[in-house]
Amino acid sequence: MTTDASAPWLIVGLGNPGPEYAANRHNVGFMVADLLSERIGGKFKRAQKAQAQVVEGRIGPPGPANRRVILAKPMSYMNLSGGPVTALRDFYKVPTAHIVAVHDELDIDYGALRLKLGGGDNGHNGLKSMTKAMGADYHRVRFGIGRPPGRMQVADFVLKDFSSAERKELDYFVDRAADAVECLVTEGLERAQSAYNS
């Protein structure tokens, strides 16, 4: 599938809206989106056509690698992310191959990253909703949060804040994830995978 290189990119940080969720493991996608918005000098504002907050800007060096991007945080709760993302895709005319979902991933060690195009949702409700709404052919930046300790339920684990030990390294890992997103958008998936997949 060929995609117009000049088409914008839609970078979606997945999470739940509201201050009570802000520091949860499940909201690491929002954290990465917030950092990217700082980097491009923008502030999130309510989208006109979707239940989401958005920032528009550019990523990459001047020249052919410079990309127009829309950063988005769906405000619909995680398990309904597909609706806002599809509305933004249609409004900004973004090809599905130019959509990047940044999300927490249980099956990867804390802080490790894996980038890929397409695939299953691995039980992640945000991805499940997006795939149901528009198919699976979008990019994912999977941010490892590890498995719950002992017999803790997955739902309880992802809706808890990062532990104090994890928080010591969280800023570094979020920074690295933002770097990976920028590399993916400006240099392509293979380059980003070889630089950031761990």
What are the residue ranges of helices labelled H in the chain?
Answer: 28-39, 82-92, 125-134, 154-158, 164-187, 189-196
> Active-site residue among 26, 103, 124, 139?
26
Active site residue 124: no
* Burial (CB count within 10 angstroms: exposed 0-12, middle 13-18, buried 19+), residue 37: buried
End-to-end Cα spacing for the chain: 27
**β-pair type (113-117, 139-144):** antiparallel
At 179, phi and psi to the nearest 5? -60, -40
Q: Kindly list the catalytic residues.
A: 26
